[in-house]
Amino acid sequence: MRSEKFKEFREEGHGHHRGGRHRGRDGSHQRGAKTFRRGRAIAFLEMMNLKRATIKQQLEQPEFQSIQPILVGELKAIDMVINEFIQLFEIHESEMMASSDSQEDDEKSLNHDEEGNNLNANN
């Protein structure tokens, strides 16, 4: 008798897992965790782009001439990781625009920091 009531209860959709509420079947799209993870993925992509910009900047500086082949290899590797990451997470250009805007700001900040360090070294 008890098992019959339990069967009816589950068939009506009141069960914890069968009810669908926790699996997004009730029509509401709970995007909190997914949006958070996507935000983290885009933040990681921004970090990778910043590292790429740093390596590219180092390629142009004479003090890194001796390790230029290593830097070229790192640049190719980081480009490959960035491209695979974009494909894996299906990141679109509109999402990357925000990323590139912040990357430009970061590059400007790096340049200003280096100029400040050069001024301090000269004084």
Q: Identify the H or E element spanning 64.
A: none
Token reading at 90: 């299906």
Q: Which residues contact 98 (CB under 8 A, 6 or more apart)?
A: 42
Going from N- to C-terminal start, the domains of the chain cover 1-30, 32-122
pLDDT at 95: 72
pLDDT tens, residue by residue, 40-69: 999 999 999 999 999 999 999 999 999 999
Tracing tokens 């910009």 back to the chain, one arrives at 53
pLDDT averaged over the chain? 74
What is the reported pTM?
A: 0.53
Number of other residues whose CB lies within 10 A of the CB of residue 45: 20
